[in-house]
Structure 1
């Protein structure tokens, strides 16, 4: 049966709309700056070969992976070079059986700050399962309050970490001009309230949600660990860190979520 011109146009439009709806989101991690906690070296025929960090976001799932050396807490971190709401992180394991297991039980997370210790100020998006297969691709959905800049894959073990590829989907976020002054070994003199927080970033978010809040102090060893105040007056106190807002009004209408460095 021959189709009329109108029917042909309708079919073509439907195909075009369907293709548009299935366009893959941009990978905002592609070829961005990245680092490994250490780099695995392999020697063959007198030559050294390195499993560099950039292999994990070079856009290829068939070339070499990024692989750390044998160490405590190995990690890979990528820098988005801007602040985003991250929706999904897609991670692929190595395509060789030898290294594929080196991602088992790895954590996947995001952070607003460049950190050295994988457990500090990181929002978890998921954990890689223990039964890893070669060239397995899994997607982890993220849910975080503050805009983030860094994406992490790490293992809480002493061993290796091997990552074939990391892809990230996210939406750019504009952050406003709020800034903090950071004071080591200082504690707020008259806290408005005391709450529990798992990190300085988490404490800062609680300050942001408590209006007005002009400063906060954080000490991971204290109970409670987070102090919020409407005054930035502080006193000397070992192991505490105080963050004071420098250019926001007392009404706090600006975004305070990316300055907890």
Structure 2
């Protein structure tokens, strides 16, 4: 079967968490986005302690939100939000966890974790215990309002361990693409077999497969969210995990 014919391949597998992440934020380096962005205060800044004082800031909208895709499924233990210099705009924000992307999916499971105090001050930390009974992939912070307002977050820390979940997973293929920083280069008979290897390694988030590369190095797995290399790789296809499943 050709790689092109595998564009709609769906894998049914069981993921088992292999790595205990307590002590290290499982959100660091993952994909963050927000409703809008104010100046240079990008959503990703809330995941990097270097920017913990300025953090991420949305533009003024009704009920602004911030979200991180953990690119895998986890049992969340605690989530800690730290207020930055724009602490007023983190007051009363709510924290929740979800199994799917609420902007794409209609059957999302969600669990409310808690609210930030209405008297939050700069550098104050708020720690929430989440009791979701389902494996979590997304963490969302929302400042619900009926008028235009900002949401500012100094830093977000998410603690948890890899979850076991039987689920349907679809990878979106991109022709001529190759992961930039593979943590494992191995062999696979088909792109589907390469995808199963990605699933079995809990840290894997995307993979690339080639029909012409050496049979010992035709499957590459990555755990890094970085720009993917799409030039000069005519016989490679990159597969990215879809969000709504």
From 140, 145, 155, the equivalent of 2:143 is 155
Following superposition, the deviation at residue 174 of structure 1 comes to: 2.4
In the alignment, structure 1 residue 81 sits paired with structure 2 residue 79: no
Q: How does 1:102-121 map to 2 (within 5 A)?
A: 102-116=89-103, 121=109
RMSD: 2.6
Following superposition, the deviation at residue 177 of structure 1 comes to: 4.4
From 26, 29, 32, the equivalent of 1:31 is 29
Following superposition, the deviation at residue 60 of structure 1 comes to: 3.0
TM-score (norm 2): 0.56
**For residue 58 of structure 1, what is the aligned residue in structure 2?**
48
Aligned equivalents of 1:127, 1:167: Cα separation in 2? 15
Structure 1 pair 141–61 and aligned structure 2 pair: CA distance change class (3 A): farther
Q: Which has the higher helix share?
A: 1
Of structures 1 and 2, the one with the larger relative CO (CA 8 A, separation 6+) is 2
CA contact (8 A) 1:31 1:59 kept: no
Q: How does 1:1-261 map to 2 (within 5 A)?
A: 25-41=23-39, 50-60=40-50, 62-94=52-84, 96=85, 99-116=86-103, 121-157=109-145, 158-177=148-167, 261=245
- Per-residue deviation, residues 5-63 of structure 1 (Å, max 9, x unmatched): xxxxxxxxxxxxxxxxxx9622101121100110012xxxxxxxx11111000133645
Following superposition, the deviation at residue 115 of structure 1 comes to: 1.2
Q: Structure 1 segments of 4 or more deviating over 6 A? A: none
CA contact (8 A) 1:60 1:165 kept: no
**For residue 191 of structure 2, what is the aligned residue in structure 1?**
none
Aligned equivalents of 2:159, 2:80: Cα separation in 1? 8
Comparing 158-167 with 55-64, greater Cα deviation is found at: 55-64
Structure 1 pair 171–38 and aligned structure 2 pair: CA distance change class (3 A): same
Structure 1 pair 107–27 and aligned structure 2 pair: CA distance change class (3 A): same
CA contact (8 A) 1:30 1:59 kept: no
Aligned equivalents of 1:134, 1:59: Cα separation in 2? 15
Aligned equivalents of 1:128, 1:177: Cα separation in 2? 33
Q: Runs of 5+ in structure 2 lacking a partner?
A: 1-20, 170-242
Question: What is the total number of aligned residue pairs between the two structures?
Answer: 149
Find the structure with the greater CA-based Rg.
Answer: 1
Q: Runs of 5+ in structure 1 lacking a partner?
A: 1-22, 42-49, 180-258
Aligned equivalents of 1:65, 1:92: Cα separation in 2? 9
Aligned equivalents of 1:100, 1:71: Cα separation in 2? 17
| Partner SS for 1:78 | strand
Aligned equivalents of 1:72, 1:121: Cα separation in 2? 23
TM-score (norm 1): 0.53
| Partner SS for 1:60 | helix
